[in-house]
Amino acid sequence: MPLPRQVFIAVIGAGGVGKCFLSQLQQLAAKLSRSPAGPTYLSLILLATSKKSVHYDDYKSLNNWEAELAASTTAPLALPKLADYLVKAPGKVVLVDNTSNQEVADSYPLFLKKGISIVTPNKKAFSSTFQLWTDIFDAAANTHGHGGYIFHESSVGAGLPVISTLKELTETGDEVQRIEGVFSGTMSFLFNSFQPTSGGGGKFSAEVKKAKELGFTEPDPRDDLNGLDVARKLTILARLAGLKVESPTSFPVQSLIPKELESCSSGDEFLQRLPEFDGQMDELKGAAEKEGKVVRFVGSVDVPKGEVKVGLEKFDKSHPIAALKGSDNIIAFYTKRYGDNPLIIQGAGAGGDVTAMGVTGDLVKVLKLLH
């Protein structure tokens, strides 16, 4: 029997995804501690939010984190100090970044170089400057470097196996020609309701309001409608497919915020004025309808042409992108091996539990590699 081993887990972020992850981590830790292949003990070494942190110097348990975090009066460490603290752990450390914080993302190379592995859904680490992308993967053990491992499945399509599939296509020598899909649960819900394939659908502004009420949008819906979230995901996929995309603003991204409303001082003012533009959206809908098509908000990467774009497009009603339901994502990989019929992955691409699942899945991968 191999010796029991201990791996130390540091978690930043305890919001929607963070809470679900901590619950999954508890379950995983219990399972691994009684693994027939010899136990692995997962010990929480740190739990931090933007405001406070708990340092588990006695590496005890995961069972009481919520109360302990609430009771903490300790401010979080500055990131370089955090790295110094983590490397002192008497074993391998995995940092789980469940934030969407740019500053944390910027410090990944520092953590990786110190041998700390990272799993995260934080899109900003992989969709900001190309320099940060290079610095991260130059330091990571799973690519060129000799530091920690890094995995980020949930940065695109939440727990759907999008990034692992794209990596496997390229690693095994397939040629990815085009990637196309609906990459935002919010945009999926909005357009599936605005123009269902069965006809009908409401005014665009009414659908935005409904989506906000149902919790399908960011607190300020403009943060979804500007297309930046989708542009970040496309940046990640395009880079993995081999394109040197400088940033999520270096290719055409169609914003659904009318120019006239860019200056609104609040999300509420924006929502109030949005109905003024329903006529424009109805025109788009009508034009598509005349061709037997529907309008959807999609992203695509054309690898040979080096083109990335995000915006509205028309699809035949029988097209899988048109037939999407609810807030599902769909991602189609057109490759040399798969020919005309793409490899398609479809399902919920947002939500705490499925996003956390991608993070937990990545943690399992790291644990296998750290054996």
> Which residues bind to a second copy, rule: CB under 8 A?
2, 24, 27-28, 31, 36-37, 141-146, 159-161, 164-165, 168-169, 171-174, 318, 320, 323, 325-326, 328, 337-348, 353-354, 357, 360-361, 364, 368-369, 371
Instruction: For residues 345 and 311, give the distance between their C-alpha atoms in angstroms, rounded to a whole number.
Output: 20
CA distance 328 to 198: 17
Q: Which is nearer to a second copy, 171 or 291 (CB)?
A: 171
CB of 154 to a second copy, least distance (A): 11
Closest distance to a second copy from the beta carbon of 349 (Å): 10
Both tokens of 110, joined, read 């520092």
Nearest Cα to Cα of residue 267 among 217, 212, 209, 221: 221
Check whether 15 is labelled as a binding-site residue.
yes
Which one, 173 or 219, has the nearer CB to a second copy? 173
Nearer to a second copy, 311 or 352 (CB): 352
User: In this structure, what are the phi and psi dihedrals at residue 274, rounded to the nearest 5 degrees?
Assistant: -55, -35
Residue closer to a second copy (CB basis): 312 or 369: 369
As given in the structure block, the two tokens for residue 211 are 């989506």
Of 72 and 142, CB closest to a second copy: 142
For every residue of 176-192, which 3-state class applies, written as one string? EEEEEEECCHHHHHHHH
- Nearest distance from C-beta of residue 140 to a second copy, angstroms: 10
CA atoms within 13 A on the CB side of 158: 23
- Residue 245 near residue 238 (C-beta atoms within 8 A): yes
Q: Minimum distance from CB of 364 to a second copy (Å)?
A: 5
| Partners of 44 in the β-ladder | 9
What is the rounded distance in angstroms from the CA atom of residue 215 to the CA atom of residue 231?
A: 21
**What's the min distance (Å) between Cβ of 257 and a second copy?**
28
Residue 358, marked binder: no
- Is there a binding annotation on residue 49? no
Active-site residue, selected from the candidate residues 233, 259, 309, 317: 233
Instruction: Establish whether 210 is an annotated binding residue.
Output: no
275: left (phi > 0), else alpha (psi -120 to 50), else beta? alpha
Q: Least distance to a second copy from the beta carbon of 327, Å?
A: 8
CA dist 51 and 77 (Å) reads 10
Q: Is residue 235 part of an annotated ligand binding site?
A: no
Nearest-angstrom CA–CA distance, 146 and 314: 46
| Nearer residue to a second copy within complex by CB, 275 or 361 | 361
Q: 214 is written with which tokens?
A: 């149902």
Question: Is 233 noted as a catalytic residue in this protein?
Answer: yes
Closest approach, Cβ 103 to a second copy, in A, equals 28
Report DSSP letters for 17-44, one per residue. HHHHHHHHHHHHHHHHHT-TT--EEEEE
48 or 356: CB nearest a second copy: 356
Asked whether residue 339 is marked as a ligand-binding residue, the answer is no
Whether 18 has a binding-site annotation, put simply, is yes
Q: Cα–Cα distance between 260 and 251 in angstroms, integer?
A: 22
140 in a known ligand binding site:
no
The count of other CB atoms within 10 Å of the CB of residue 370 is 17
Q: Strands 117-119, 293-302: parallel, antiparallel or unpaired by DSSP?
A: unpaired
What is the identity of the amino acid at 4?
P
Would you name the residues annotated as active-site residues? Answer: 233
Residues contributing to the annotated binding site for NADPH: 99, 123
Residues contributing to the annotated binding site: 13-18, 99, 123, 218
Residues contributing to the annotated binding site for NADP(+): 13-18
